[in-house]
């Protein structure tokens, strides 16, 4: 690992960087290796999570290099796949732990790379290292200089020397934009430019337009089956569209709203079974940990059946997304919400977006408060599920209208809501998983071994559900606290 006091510089060009060796004067950079050109690949996830963390991941010569604030890490690039869990144990894997647990690594850029090390010498004493990363490819030529030296006079002298050559401070994350110019930065929830006085119908169309754009960005990844998050993000985007249509009452004409809700429900329906199977398979290790080892063979068979069905469901969905009918339908829906397009207007279509948002959020918040206040240890499960549904709708509204409100205040309000929603989500997941296992255990595909393992797993999930149920009341009280009430009143009802 490099010294914590690390400084990154970009520019001079590769040729100028080579001239650093043997510079005259008290400060010298003595080259320690010739630096042969080799192929490189810069890696990141589809959502740019490595770049967003301020780091750069480069593979070269059988090694993975992770450059980031305060560190320069290296480990073997040998791996069984491109998910984080596929990497061999090492400092790079450890540093990336938790950053993209469900995403796979994808190549962001490639080309040739020369990596050279220079020992920094001042008055015949060695005082640090400079690593020069010289990238070349279709993007041109880029040099990233990694200065590894303790704070002090030598480091200051090295910085003065490099900046004298035209070098500028840089962050490793910035290199992605230079290596892959024009490569779009993906985000699941891109900001939508909403204005307070914008008509509510115009705001709704802008939100839906953005959601459809995000959904379409995920189509190639779903078809290629790169990772399960492409389908997850696709469904979230379409669910947000449906939320707008359902919650923005009076914005669109009733007949238009009904037609559009049916259209988007149809798009979602074909994805549901594949997502259910993905969730089941993603829980595989947790499920194994919850039943005795003697019942693992039954789970092996259960997951084998699930994997076979998943393959069939993915092929079905991939053909659907690649088909002419789907492409025509989704393009037609995008056209309906394009700027300047005209849809049937409802009674509230011209209401200012800010006023409309405040009234809508306050009404939904009031309902959540009523439901949350009624939660006791004896509350029936269906009322707990109703609270979860209402919390989800409230969060959607706050996030959809976020550009109209103070970001810091909104985050403060969303924090306890997310905690309550997460607890309710765990409660719901256990309920859904139990029902799915019961159905599967009763199906012709279930052998006696599968049925026994499924029964044990249902028992474990029931205990998990009870544990989540036990903390619902506390989370509801935290969200319904006087402090949160005051903030929400100021934001949406003041």
pLDDT in tens, 441-455: 888 888 999 999 999
pLDDT of 126 over the 80 cut: no
What span, in angstroms and rounded, lies between the C-alpha atoms of 446 and 455? 11
Q: Which tokens go with 432?
A: 């859904």
The predicted pLDDT at position 474 comes to 85
Chain segment 242-281, per-residue pLDDT in tens: 999 999 999 999 999 999 999 999 999 999 999 999 999 9
The predicted pLDDT at position 475 comes to 86
Whether the model clears a pTM of 0.85, i.e. scores above it, the answer is yes
Chain segment 348-359, per-residue pLDDT in tens: 999 999 999 999
Chain segment 471-488, per-residue pLDDT in tens: 888 888 888 888 888 889
Between residues 155 and 426, the one the model is more confident about: 426
SS (H, E, C) the chain: CCCCCEEEEECCCHHHHHCCECCCCCEEEEECCCCCCEEEEEEECCCCHHHHCCCEEEEECCEEEEEECCEEEEEECCECCCEHHHECCCHHHHHHCCCCCCCECEEEEEEEEEEEEEEEEECCEEEEEEEEEEEEECCEEEEEEEEECCCCHHHHHHHHHHHHCCCEECCCCHHHHHHCCCCCCCCCCCCCCCCCCCEHHHHHHHHHHHHHHHHHHCHHHHHHCCCCHHHHHHHHHHHHHHHHHHHCCCCECHHHHHHHHHHHHHHHHCCHHHHHHHHHHHCHHHHHHCCCHHHHHHHHHHHHHHHHHHHHHHHHHHHHHHCHHHHHHHHHHHHHCCCCCCCCECCCCCCEHHHHHHHHHHHHHHHHHHHHHCCCCCCCHHHHHHHHHHHHHHHHHHHHCHHHCCHHHHHHHHHHHHHHHHHHHHHHHHHHHHHHHHHHHCCCCCCHHHHHHHHHHHHHHHHHHHHHHHHHHHHHHHHCCHHHHHHHHHHHCC
Q: Output the average pLDDT for the chain.
A: 90
Chain segment 29-44, per-residue pLDDT in tens: 888 887 889 999 999 9
The predicted pLDDT at position 3 comes to 47
* Span 189-351 CATH architecture: Alpha solenoid (1.40)
Chain segment 296-312, per-residue pLDDT in tens: 999 999 999 999 999 99
pLDDT of 1 over the 50 cut: no
The reply to whether domains 189-351 and 353-494 share a CATH topology is: yes
Pick 6-179's CATH classification: 1.10.8, 2.40.10, 2.40.50, 2.40.320.
2.40.320
Pairing of the two strands 38-44 and 63-68: unpaired
Chain segment 177-228, per-residue pLDDT in tens: 999 998 888 999 998 999 999 999 999 999 999 999 999 999 999 999 999 9
Q: Where are the domains of the chain?
A: 6-179, 189-351, 353-494
pLDDT of 70 over the 50 cut: yes
The predicted pLDDT at position 5 comes to 37
What confidence tier does 15 reach under pLDDT thresholds 50, 70, 90?
Answer: low
Chain segment 387-409, per-residue pLDDT in tens: 999 999 999 999 999 999 999 99
- CATH code for the part of the protein at 353-494: 1.40.20.10
């Amino acid at each position: 690992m490099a010294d914590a006091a690390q400084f990154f510089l970009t520019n001079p060009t590769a040729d100028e960087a080579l001239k650093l060796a043997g510079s005259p004067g008290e400060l010298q950079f003595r080259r320690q290796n010739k630096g042969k050109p080799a192929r490189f690949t810069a890696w990141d996830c589809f959502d740019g999570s490595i770049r967003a963390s301020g780091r750069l991941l480069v593979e070269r010569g059988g090694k993975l290099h992770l450059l980031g604030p305060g560190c320069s890490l290296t480990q073997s690039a040998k791996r069984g796949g491109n998910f984080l869990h596929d990497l061999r144990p090492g400092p790079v894997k450890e540093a990336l732990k938790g950053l993209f647990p469900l995403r796979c690594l994808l190549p962001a850029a490639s080309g040739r790379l020369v990596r050279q090390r220079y020992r920094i010498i001042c008055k015949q004493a060695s005082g640090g290292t400079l690593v020069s990363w010289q990238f070349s490819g279709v993007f041109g030529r880029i040099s990233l200089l990694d200065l590894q030296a303790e704070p002090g006079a030598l480091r200051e002298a090295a910085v003065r020397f490099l900046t004298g050559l035209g070098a500028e401070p840089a962050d490793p994350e910035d290199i992605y934009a230079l290596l892959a110019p024009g490569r779009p930065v993906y985000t699941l929830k891109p900001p939508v430019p909403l204005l307070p006085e914008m008509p509510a119908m115009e705001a709704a169309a802008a939100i839906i337009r953005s959601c459809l754009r995000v959904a379409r960005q995920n189509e190639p990844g779903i078809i290629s089956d790169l990772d399960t998050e492409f389908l997850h993000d696709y469904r979230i985007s379409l669910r947000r569209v449906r939320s707008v249509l359902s919650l923005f009452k009076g914005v669109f004409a009733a007949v238009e709203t009904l037609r559009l809700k049916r259209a988007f429900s149809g798009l979602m329906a074909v994805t549901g079974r594949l997502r259910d199977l993905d969730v089941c398979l993603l829980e595989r290790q947790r499920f194994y940990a919850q039943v005795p080892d003697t019942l693992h063979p039954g789970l092996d068979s259960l997951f084998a059946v699930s994997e076979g069905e998943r393959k069939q469901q993915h092929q079905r969905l991939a053909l659907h997304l690649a088909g002419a009918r789907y492409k025509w339908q989704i393009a037609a829906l995008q056209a309906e919400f394009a700027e300047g397009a005209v849809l049937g207007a409802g009674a509230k279509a011209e209401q200012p977006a800010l006023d409309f948002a405040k009234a809508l959020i306050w009404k939904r918040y009031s309902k959540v408060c009523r439901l949350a206040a009624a939660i006791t240890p004896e509350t029936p499960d269906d009322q707990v599920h109703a609270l979860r549904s209402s919390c989800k709708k409230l969060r959607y509204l706050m996030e959809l209208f976020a550009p109209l409100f103070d970001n810091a205040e909104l985050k403060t309000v969303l924090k306890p809501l997310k905690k309550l929603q997460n607890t309710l989500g765990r409660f719901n997941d256990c309920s859904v998983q139990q029902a799915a296992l019961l159905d599967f255990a009763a199906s012709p595909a279930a052998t006696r071994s599968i049925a026994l393992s499924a029964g044990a797993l249902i028992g474990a999930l029931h205990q998990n559900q009870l544990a989540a149920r036990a903390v619902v009341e506390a989370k509801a009280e935290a969200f319904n606290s006087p402090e949160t009430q005051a903030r929400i009143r100021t934001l949406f009802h003041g």
